[in-house]
């Protein structure tokens, strides 16, 4: 976030959540939904693009 010039406090403000919640997210101490991930991306002016792809095993079997 330092590279983006956004503090945890500012990120919390943009997402309309508490600063302690942002700390938990950054420490990976909380599970969050796609909606929250999208809010996080939006607050950081980034795209959120979840992607499903075959597992490595399936890729090897197909070759």
Tens of pLDDT along 15-28?
Answer: 999 999 999 998 99
The rounded Cα 31 to chain-centroid distance in angstroms is 10
CB 11 within 8 A of CB 17: no
Q: Say if residue 4's pLDDT is above 80.
A: yes
Task: State the pLDDT confidence band at 58, using cuts at 50, 70 and 90.
Answer: low
- Structural domain boundaries enclosing 51: 2-62
For residue 51, count CB atoms less than 10 angstroms from its CB and return exposed for 0-12, middle for 13-18, buried for 19 or more: exposed
Query: What integer pLDDT is reported at residue 59 of this predicted model?
Result: 60
Report pTM: 0.71
Residue identified by tokens 């938990």 is: 24
Total domains in the chain come to 1
Reference 26, options 45, 49, 6; nearest CA is 6
Query: What integer pLDDT is reported at residue 3 of this predicted model?
Result: 84
**CATH number of the domain that residue 26 is part of:** 1.10.260.40
Q: Could you count the other beta carbons within 10 Å of the beta carbon of residue 11?
A: 20
Query: What integer pLDDT is reported at residue 32 of this predicted model?
Result: 86
């Amino acid at each position: 976030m330092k590279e983006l010039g956004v503090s945890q406090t500012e990120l919390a403000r943009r997402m309309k959540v508490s600063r302690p919640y942002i700390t938990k997210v950054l420490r990976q101490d909380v599970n969050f939904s796609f909606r929250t991930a999208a809010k996080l991306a939006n607050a950081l002016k980034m795209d959120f693009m979840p992607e499903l792809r075959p597992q490595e095993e399936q890729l090897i079997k197909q070759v």
